[in-house]
Chain A
């Protein structure tokens, strides 16, 4: 029993170490840091993304291009880079209407989206007020697509933003 507990503890702590290592890998040393001016320079462009949208995008992107996904070809390596995609988030009008009628009480049920239409593309509940659609599109000017670009190079996800689950997807 003690041995099992020790093994579990080791597993958990090593997982934590790996996470910390990953964080440190992303961070430059103090000497390498770029100075952030005050005030910030005039913006050429800017965008504000809500936390809900950001989390929905992360959920979809983590499924579409899981971290650490290994490319077998140079073409794949390019297609596995997240910066080569654009993302569009759609909040359905119907969801907003349901929320208004519902008075925001959160009584709308979600069935979990495990249904599968004839083994085809999974569809989640469409009437949820906590639903965002995340569309991932490959940029046109990347990955040397040439005159024969890829059809269906991205995907569309339905994200339940209450339970934070993917409840549907299609090409």
Chain B
């Protein structure tokens, strides 16, 4: 009896590890062909995303995005993680978030390069709807808007939202087609703080620079 007790005592660390593994959440899975999918060469996403409360103020919707995306599977797993891409859109006076999509060119496995494909279509039965912005996550901490994110060639909408695993949220206003600098804001205490600009000549490459004294 005492021997059995001693054996059991040796097993408790293993039991603890198993318990912890059971408690660790792998993140919520989205369903391909229900939440997101492909229609030929186009990526579509379903909307609205039920975990995001719609609002008349788009910023109220943006503030909900990062925690919701970071609860998804592989969203925070660094080099083993996934990027998610979604869109914000309006129906009437309200702004909604679509479900994000992890569709990418990436083959599974660790990589320092992660990407996702920008959805071009929202499947929401209500019409008319207008897409305002795309949004996407990076699976690392301290991973702000990249040159690739900011480059003119990758812009589809008038605003781009990006965030990392620490929920630093950035907003890019690229001013596509206008000869004015692009603007990069960070969400700080429920306001947008201008952190960088992209000079007109740097917009094709997405070269984000600190704001100049005169704002140009």
Contacts and interface: CB of A to CB of B under 8 A. Distances in A.
A43 interface: no
B139 to A, nearest CB: 9
Interface string A121-155: 11000000000000101111000111111111111
A44 interface: no
Interface residues of A, number: 36
B105 A146 contact: no
Interface stretch (B61-69, B107-115, B182-190): B107-115
Interface in B144-182: 146-149, 151, 153-154, 156, 164-165
B194 interface: no
Nearest to A154: B148
B141 interface: yes
B141 A117 contact: yes
A1 to B, nearest CB: 40
B143 A151 contact: no
Contacts of B19: none
A135 B154 contact: no
A140 B79 CA distance: 25
B207 A135 contact: yes
B205 interface: yes
Contact of B149 (A120, A148, A152): A152
A64 B147 contact: no
B143 A148 contact: no
Interface of B: 40-43, 78-79, 83, 85, 103-105, 107, 112-121, 134, 136, 138, 140-143, 146-149, 151, 153-154, 156, 164-165, 205-207
A53 interface: no
B205 A148 contact: no
A150 B149 CA distance: 10
A11 interface: no
A144 B112 CA distance: 23
Given A138-B148, A149-B117, 5 more contacts: A86-B205, A137-B205, A148-B120, A152-B116, A152-B149
A86 B206 CA distance: 12
A123 to B, nearest CB: 8
A137 B151 contact: yes
